[in-house]
Amino acid sequence: MAATILDVASLCGYSKATVSRAFASPDQVAEKTRQRVYEAARALNYTPDAIARAMVRGRTDNIGFVIYEKQYPVVLNPFYSPIFESVLQTCARKGYSLFISSDRDLRLPNGQTCVKKQMDGIILAGQSDAQMVMDLRRQNMPVVVLNNALDVDDLTCVTTDQYGGALLAMRHLTERGHRKIGLIAGAFSPHVCTSRYNGYCDALREIGQPLDFRFVQTVEPNAEQAMQCATMMLSLPDRPTAIFCTNDTIAVGTLKAALRAGLRIPHDLAIVGFDDSEISHLVEPELTTVRVDKAAMGCLAAEQLIAQIEGEQSQKQVIQTPVELVIRQTT
Amino acid sequence: MAATILDVASLCGYSKATVSRAFASPDQVAEKTRQRVYEAARALNYTPDAIARAMVRGRTDNIGFVIYEKQYPVVLNPFYSPIFESVLQTCARKGYSLFISSDRDLRLPNGQTCVKKQMDGIILAGQSDAQMVMDLRRQNMPVVVLNNALDVDDLTCVTTDQYGGALLAMRHLTERGHRKIGLIAGAFSPHVCTSRYNGYCDALREIGQPLDFRFVQTVEPNAEQAMQCATMMLSLPDRPTAIFCTNDTIAVGTLKAALRAGLRIPHDLAIVGFDDSEISHLVEPELTTVRVDKAAMGCLAAEQLIAQIEGEQSQKQVIQTPVELVIRQTT
DNA sequence: TCATAAAATGAGAACGTTTTCACTGAAAGG
DNA sequence: CCTTTCAGTGAAAACGTTCTCATTTTATGA
């Protein structure tokens, strides 16, 4: 149906090799020839077929972005949107297109990880596990892990300074004189959870405040659950004067609970979130939070993966993007 | 490097034709044979190559999701996240993978629309234009347009009842006795803009209220601009008692402006949004808004496209998903 | 002008599948 | 027992490119 390279070749009188070169490496072809080829191509409405191209070149110029979180839906996650955006732009700049899927697409019924080789590499975002990475590796698939730190040989992981961010948030609260500080933690990947939790604990230790487990709660990371949890925590007789939430969605839920309880923010209760998601400056009062450089994360992950694809040797490294406290109105 | 179908064939002693059938149409192959083939495949870590497969079959089982909005970044758009999610799931259920890109990937330097044929069809979301659709059509690419209504022959558009939704929102306000009702409209595609604007006008006409152009403003659809705009509108001497915002992001900005001006919501000012985005129930007070069935939109678009890909004749139709008023705390 | 180098082009194999067609052997029906 | 049917299998063409190698044409320098 559609015109092929052969149609173009016979129309302009050159061989298909020359037509191919006119498109793929124009500098190897005489100026005059190139023009004739283009002219014929336009006349026939011809576009090189990417599939045939991929077949012989052995690469597709596609990158897979796999979000891997326990809970569906996953693209909704406001944390990943800006990262995804950044990955998309970086890939576009380097000439790659983006494939998106959840980890389910990769899982075979037998529990193995399969890859229908339509992509040159994979960015594994979220709660990726080492097994999956190794399965992919065994199929010679370049992999970069995003927002997680996995202990696999020669694996590049792009994450952020979870521990430092938590410490930053907590010290900010302790510096304002808070002693009874609650923690409402979302159930993310172990890497994220433990790092942020450690930051919480160490900051309390710094001021000699013992851990009070009534003030430490884990919830599914959505606003409703967080609100319920915060409501309970705030109704304790000696309730905390500040709450550190391990992401902004949870912080928003906490904020709602506080407002409904009639508390004045930040006078009666201080709240700090994490991630600096869009939502953090949409609520009123605006949320103090830990900014994560999502653009850098996405860009780095894409660049690292592309470097790997294009032949550079990959070395084991965990790249941590820096973190920054954004003080707004809830502290 | 990786094992091919030939390696499997020679290991298990069958021809490559049989191996191919064992994977692609297992029922055409004897049980015993199939097991031997699978065994050999596992031993060699073999996976059928999707590219070669696509080449000979003439289809990739991939669908392109193209978000086409004037302003980057685009994936951030909270309106599209649930739609995208729904498309993703529908595609997965039907055996398709998803490619994502912005319209820029499709545009050639010469202004034409190109499609490197790696997808069997395209969902064009956002401010798509008829020219692009026709370019794609000329390359035999099935297209479905999402969240827009374009006047192209035999084109399927999946959109929502913009006009009805606006009417619903406005009647809700007029029924509560509001007469001076402002409009803060985001600059979306003409289809969306005009429909919602018409709903606004007609509802005012219903109660015999003349249009007051001081109460009608257009902004870029982000919270900051909306907040500025609302602040100005609310400082008019005879300010409106209610504001209809053409999406939730704008409504949130308006809400912030009102709260900062010390207005009590909904007593001093009523606000209605549009879309029922996630944000609408995260802010406090929660937003009254017009719910758009985004899951249905995504699902319908995907199903329509897949039907077209799989050979069903496409007929010109504009599918409108229904709309529903969600009354929360801002009215 | 001739030898040499460089640039431009063409022929054809290769990429890894699917699928058509033909063939075989076994089951079914008389 | 002979034909007919049918499930199972194999040989080989086809899909539309790229790329190596060989060949032809053009440019360069003496």
Candidate from B45, B48, B75 with C-beta closest to A139 = B45
User: Per-residue pLDDT for A90 more than 70?
Assistant: yes
Contact assessment for residue B316 and residue B154, using Cβ atoms and an 8 Å cutoff: yes
| Residue A6 pLDDT | 95
User: What's the rounded mean pLDDT across residues B272-288?
Assistant: 96
pLDDT exceeds 80 at position A104: no
Which residues share a beta bridge with A65? A100, A123
The pLDDT value given to residue A77: 76
Q: Which of B85-99, B278-292, B305-319 has the highest mean pLDDT?
A: B278-292
pLDDT band for position B238 (cuts 50, 70, 90): very high
3-state secondary structure B182-234: EEEEECCCHHHHHHHHHHHHHHHHHCCCCCCHHHEEEECCCHHHHHHHHHHHH
pLDDT score of B158: 96
pLDDT tens sequence across A171-221: 999 999 999 999 999 988 888 889 999 999 999 999 999 999 999 999 998
Residue A140's pLDDT is 83
Residue A295 pLDDT level (bands cut at 50, 70, 90): very high
Cross-chain residue pair A73–B85, CB shorter than 8 Å:
yes
pLDDT at A233 over 70: yes
pLDDT in tens, B64-96: 998 876 655 556 678 888 898 899 889 988 989
Q: What is the DSSP string of B121-153?
A: EEEEEES--HHHHHHHHHTT--EEEES-----T
Please tell me the predicted confidence (pLDDT) of residue B67.
Answer: 80
* pLDDT at A270 > cutoff 70: yes
Task: Estimate the crossing angle of helix A162-175 against helix A190-206, to 10 degrees.
Answer: 30
Q: What is the mean pLDDT of the segment spanning A130-141?
A: 86
Q: Which pLDDT score is estimated for B261?
A: 97
Q: A interface mutation test: which of B84, B103, B137, B284 has the most A CBs within 10 A?
A: B284
On average, the pLDDT of chain B sits at 90
Protein-proximal nucleotides of chain C (any atom < 7 Å from a CB): 7-12, 14-20
Measured between alpha carbons, how far is B80 from B298 in angstroms, rounded to an integer?
Answer: 9
CB B243 within 8 A of CB B269: yes
Which residues of A in 10-29 have their CB below 7 Å from strand D's atoms? 16-17, 20-21, 23-25
pLDDT at residue B266, rounded to an integer:
96
**A11-53 residue pLDDT tens:** 999 999 999 999 989 999 999 999 999 999 999 989 899 999 9
Q: Tens digits of per-residue pLDDT, B287-305? A: 999 999 999 999 999 999 9
Task: Tell me the C-alpha distance between B65 and B301, whole Å.
Answer: 10
Q: Which of A73, A81, A140 sits opposite B2 (nearest CB)?
A: A140
What is the C-alpha separation between A184 and A230, in angstroms, rounded?
A: 8
Determine the residue of chain A that is closest to B283 in CA distance.
A283
The mean per-residue pLDDT over the stretch B310-329 comes to: 88
What is the pLDDT confidence band of residue B103, given thresholds at 50, 70 and 90? Answer: low
- Look over chain A and give the mean of its residue pLDDT values, rounded to a whole number: 90
At which residue do the structure tokens 């229904």 appear?
A: B322
Q: CB B73 to CB A85 under 8 A?
A: yes
In this predicted model, what pLDDT tens digit does every residue of B28-65 receive, in sequence order? 999 999 999 999 999 998 989 999 999 999 999 999 99
Q: In B, which residues are within 8 Å of A116 by CB distance?
A: 47-50
- Please check whether residue B91 is in contact with residue A94, taking contact to mean a CB–CB distance below 8 angstroms: no
B296 CB neighbour count, 10 Å cutoff: 16
| CA A204 vs CA A241, A248, B48: distances in Å | 14, 21, 55
